[in-house]
Amino acid sequence: MDKFKITMGVILAALIAALALGKFAPRKAEVFKQTPIQVTSEGLYKEFKNSKEAILKYSGKYVEISGVADHLDQTTLGLPYVILRGGDALGEVQCIFSPQNRDQAKQVKLGQAVTLRGVCMGKVMHLIIDECALQSAK
């Protein structure tokens, strides 16, 4: 009986892990065919800060986000990203460029108003927009 419980526990853990990894797998082309949800970085951060409904509304969805570039850097995998201001000292929206759009990051300057499109991954420490493409930088 104990072996059965252990086996079932391992199978259940593997199933949960597979489902979780599937949720964060690279987005299918269909996501990018959707009309993006237009939002500002401050507005998006505020919604996630004050509402669990934001998870349902934005997570896994294609968004067009506008904001002010506050920081530029690279992920541990070498993908460039821009941090957009989120409205308070802790409010950040990290927009990670897709590998095919990595050169677009060179067009972004600190303090510049930018608009990007990507997939909202939700909030961990800060909001993450993945697979981004630059739409404008002014």
Identify the pLDDT of residue 27: 53
88 is written with which tokens? 């308070």
User: How many domains does the chain divide into?
Assistant: 1
In a domain, 83, yes or no: yes
In a domain, 4, yes or no: no
The string of pLDDT tens digits covering residues 9-64 is 555 455 454 444 444 445 556 887 889 999 999 999 999 887 788 999 999 999 99
Domain with 104 in it: what CATH number?
Answer: 2.40.50.140
In a domain, 121, yes or no: yes
C-alpha span between 106 and 48 (Å, rounded): 29
In a domain, 88, yes or no: yes
Identify the pLDDT of residue 24: 47
> 58 is in which domain, residue-wise?
27-137
Contacts 24+ apart (CB under 8 A), 127-131: 127/41, 127/44, 127/45, 127/48, 127/86, 127/92, 127/93, 127/94, 128/93, 128/94, 128/96, 129/63, 129/65, 129/93, 129/94, 129/95, 129/96, 130/27, 130/96, 130/98, 131/26, 131/27, 131/96, 131/98
In a domain, 21, yes or no: no
pTM for this structure? Answer: 0.77
In a domain, 86, yes or no: yes
The string of pLDDT tens digits covering residues 56-114 is 999 999 999 999 999 999 999 999 999 999 887 778 999 999 999 999 999 999 999 99
In a domain, 81, yes or no: yes
